[in-house]
Amino acid sequence: MQEAQILPAVAASVYGDNNTFYRCGFIGYQDTLFDGSRRHYYKECYIQGEVDFIFSNAHSFYEKCTINATARDINLPGFVTAHGRSKDTEPDGGFVFNGGEIVGTGKVNLGRAWGLWLELFFMELILDH
Q: Which positions are annotated as active-site residues?
A: 31, 52
Whole-Å CA distances, 5 to 8, 18, 30, 36, 71 = 10, 36, 13, 26, 17
DSSP 77-91: -EEEEEE-BS-TTSP
Please report, as a single letter, which amino acid is at residue 129. H
Q: Is 91 exposed, middle or buried (0-12, 13-18, 19+ CB in 10 A)?
A: exposed
Q: How far apart are the first and last CA of the chain?
A: 38
Is there a contact between 92 and 58 (Cβ–Cβ < 8 Å)?
Answer: no
